[in-house]
Structure 1
């Protein structure tokens, strides 16, 4: 009997073989195999940037060289670190509020069709309004402190959280809900044991979008009125034609978004090891 058939017979499922769990070295190699393409693209973009600046195809006050940008990041590391931390704090706080309020609103909308029909059009209307257009209002209402930046971050990150959570709660298998009711589970038990866990894959998809948008929201709020934060740094550099500092601010802003995205990705892997997308290396077909 072939090995694949024997494995399938041992598992009780014809044509399906269980693959051995990869070790640490195998996982490291797999991560490297997935990462080399984006890293190669970044290196290529950096090389093009360096070539354009070295050949003086564009004036340095328009596009600085990579060397001058890195020099600014090194010489003014403390300055950039301070303003970067302010933006990160605003982003995290706005993202946390958006997640809490968004999940709660999604649960209420799913369990009440009246609320959904009333609230969903309002959410859609609010989403299509450019946040940069209404950000000055928050400055007038809330002042020049941290509050307007957090509000803008919440508004931008809120919609993906709500939509993904509503989709996840509605995609639960109805037979599972009926089975839980047959076994005597109440609405709260059904939500905790079935609906909420089943919605987590959809929710995390929305969270990965929302956390990057929250960075944009915080910076947009800083553009309108602030005396610290990366938005303030970028505006100051733009006004002074300090393009190395401008590029440095943009790079740090991008790094914050990437790091937060990766943290949400790691949380998803830790909290959802049971999901099919995380078990792709466990089972394979032999057909």
Structure 2
């Protein structure tokens, strides 16, 4: 019963917004600019085979490869910064600077470097998702209880034992918080890369529909991108719940 009440408010809000959108689109009557939700749904059904079997797998491949690289490099750098003050002083400012440069400005450079291959889109995805994973994991490693650390040292624990039994458990909630940010952002990164240069993908298909002034065709892959981001976010929540079964 509580779970039903928990989802009731957002469902009602989405229905109200959808009805307002439908009415507004009918009044404006300019489907190439603002298509109605029913028109978008119809276009989704019409293009279901092309979008689901051709363009969605291309975008999903970019997202998964980008996230895998970001997680491996991000966690590795966070551990290195936690273990070495020199590494922290060297890399932390560079990470901050990397976030001040608009990704949309760097994406064309990656296209020049890697061409229209999958790697130009993967690099954009990594650039967007890398920062939250590194920062959250690093903050989690630093949040371990000092009293417990001193107790373990008193009892003769080695640095490896402290890292495995204290630092990592302390960092896991922060790590999952970083993933909750990074996973939806990965979809944005993939879409940006596809917009600037690709031969397949949901972002590429949306841009192609824009050149044809097909408003519903532009929104249809965007809806799928949004759903993909939601699914990835829910996947992180599921992994977090399975990891922390002992927590209420």
Shift of 1:165: 0.6
Shift of 1:58: 4.5
Map 1:112-261; keep pairs closer than 5 Å: 112-261=84-233
Map 1:36-185; keep pairs closer than 5 Å: 36-54=8-26, 56-81=27-52, 82-185=54-157
Q: Deviations over 1:208-258 (max 9, x none)?
A: 000111111111111111010011011101111111111111111100000
Q: Deviations over 1:37-59 (max 9, x none)?
A: 111111111111111123x2251
Count of aligned positions: 247
Q: Deviations over 1:29-81 (max 9, x none)?
A: 23222111111111111111111123x22512211122221111111101111
| Whole-angstrom CA distance in 2 between matches of 1:146 and 1:61 | 30
| Whole-angstrom CA distance in 1 between matches of 2:217 and 2:185 | 23
| Whole-angstrom CA distance in 2 between matches of 1:188 and 1:261 | 32
Partner of 1:103: helix, strand, or coil? helix
Is residue 203–residue 222 contact of structure 2 (8 Å, CA) maintained in 1? no
| Whole-angstrom CA distance in 2 between matches of 1:140 and 1:118 | 28
| Whole-angstrom CA distance in 2 between matches of 1:107 and 1:30 | 40
Q: Deviations over 1:72-109 (max 9, x none)?
A: 11111011112122111211110111011101100110
Question: When you count helix as a share of all residues, which structure comes out higher?
Answer: 2
Match of 1:18 in 2: none
Match of 1:6 in 2: none
| Whole-angstrom CA distance in 2 between matches of 1:208 and 1:51 | 34
Q: Select between 178-187 and 75-84 the one with higher mean Cα deviation.
A: 178-187
Task: Provide the aligned C-alpha RMSD in A.
Answer: 1.1
Match of 1:268 in 2: 240
Match of 1:12 in 2: none
Larger Rg: 1
Instruction: Give unmatched runs, 5+ long, in structure 2.
Output: none
Match of 1:4 in 2: none
| Whole-angstrom CA distance in 2 between matches of 1:48 and 1:89 | 35
Q: Deviations over 1:127-152 (max 9, x none)?
A: 11111111111111112110111111
| Whole-angstrom CA distance in 1 between matches of 2:97 and 2:241 | 34
| Whole-angstrom CA distance in 2 between matches of 1:204 and 1:145 | 30
Instruction: Give unmatched runs, 5+ long, in structure 1.
Output: 1-28, 280-287
Question: Following superposition, which runs of at least 4 residues in structure 1 exceed 6 angstroms of deviation?
Answer: none
